[in-house]
Amino acid sequence: MKIFDLMNMEAEGYEKRNVNVFFQNDDFKTRVITLEPGGKIPECQMDSHVIFYVVKGEVTIHKNSESSALQENHVFITEPALVSMESATGAKLMGIQIKTGQ
């Protein structure tokens, strides 16, 4: 059994996001994401289902042409889509990519 403490996990910026992966198998990949105040994740065409859980802070999530605020303890789940996010105040999230066709 492995327990992960998201509050105490450190994360690199978007450019080094691959080092933020803390669990991966053939079906899904899980990473910790931090955004500094004013930080952004640019638009990315996600070919997998995605789940974002806000551990701390607040983000604005953009999916295709829709936008919504996500606060602490909110969860966003989407099918493959064009996704981006930004945070005015900073945030920590857990992101999960789930392969399609499973």
Per-residue pLDDT of 49-98, as tens digits, reads 999 999 999 999 999 999 999 999 999 999 999 999 999 999 999 999 99
What is the pTM assigned to this prediction? Answer: 0.90
How far, in Å, CA of 30 to CA of 35, rounded?
16
13-35 mean pLDDT: 89
Judge whether residue 102 has pLDDT over 70.
no
* pLDDT confidence of residue 74: 97
